Amino acid sequence: MPELAEVDYFRRRWDAGVGKRVTCVAIHASARIFRGCAVERLARQLPEHSLRASRAHGKQILFEFTGGLWLGVHLGMTGELRAEAADYPPGRHDHLVLRQKECALVFADARMFGRVRFDESGDGPPAWWRALPPALLDAAFTEEYLAACLARRARSPLKAVLLDQAIFPGVGNWMADEILWRLQWHPLIPAGTLEAAQRRALWHEVRWLAENALATIGVDWGDPPREWLYTHRWATGNPCPRCGGPLSREEAAGRTTCWCPACQPAPGMLAARTPGKPRRTGHRRETPFHRPPR
């Protein structure tokens, strides 16, 4: 479920516990989400320490505690973070519960593709966090950097490259499809065929979508504007919000991919075209739609 904006939404669910002390920790110690994690250390060290702050980077989340303790969270496919009442009784999939006097911070994950890390790296974030590539909205995510990444994956379909977390941290299946649809490029065009102007258009589109997804989904789990592909991409044959033609859904780069055959012609027929000005539709959300998490 979670991509960049959803991840940030879930990260903020735990803001309820910032500045507050952890009294005890409840854990499903053998749950798969703790693979490679020092669970016993986590359960022993966290109590009596306070949650200080959190940050997100793509699909990764990092919680900082006093005492130089760090909790890393990846939500996988079905992970979620919630703040519940202090006396909340953990459910079957609530694998990690940090109890505080005021509330209970819960990490739940039915399928357990997610992951929890625990580090005692002191003042600075753990090594794995510092090794993350430039975030999409970071100043280091430059057009030149992007060009170098595309060159390295020149023969891969662009859809596959967009899903590469080492290049586009936080982009998942729906964001990749949204970006391609907005650019009117077919998902299978090779990343190396983009010309300079097209690489620039891609750079702009990626940043635009990251910002605007954070501003809609990231804030309150609201649906993105109807002008986006997002709300239409779930069923084959739904009308393309740009041209009204039927949308296609097929597997590409190992994932179900939705695109408009009319707006995004196949690679053999027409190479990726350069849009004049990047489209700027859907800035505002006309019909606020609030859906509770889960």
Partner DNA sequence: ATCTCTGTTCACAA
Partner DNA sequence: GTTGTGAACAGAGA
Q: Which amino acid is at 76?
A: G
Q: Footprint of DNA on this chain (CB under 7 A)? A: 1-3, 6, 32, 59, 74, 76-78, 92-93, 110-113, 152-157, 160, 163, 165, 172-174, 234, 249, 253-256
Q: How far is CA 135 from CA 163, 207, 228, in A?
A: 14, 10, 23
| Smallest separation (angstroms) from DNA to the CB of 78 | 6
| Smallest separation (angstroms) from DNA to the CB of 294 | 9
Which CB sits closer to DNA, 22 or 188?
Answer: 188
Phi, psi angles (nearest 5°) of residue 132: -65, 150
Which CB sits closer to DNA, 277 or 290?
Answer: 290
Structure tokens at 227: 């002008």
Task: Give strand pairing partners of 50.
Answer: 21
Which CB sits closer to DNA, 104 or 149?
Answer: 149
Burial class from Cβ neighbours inside 10 Å (0-12, 13-18, 19+) for residue 8 reads buried
For residues 108 and 94, the answer to whether their CB atoms sit within 8 Å is yes
Which CB sits closer to DNA, 113 or 129?
Answer: 113
55: nearest Cα among 204, 169, 179: 169
CA 18 – CA 46 distance, rounded (Å)? 14
Residues known to be catalytic: 2-3, 59, 255
Q: Which amino acid is at 208?
A: W
Q: Of all residues in the chain, what percent are helix, strand and coil, respectively (each to 5)? A: 30, 25, 50
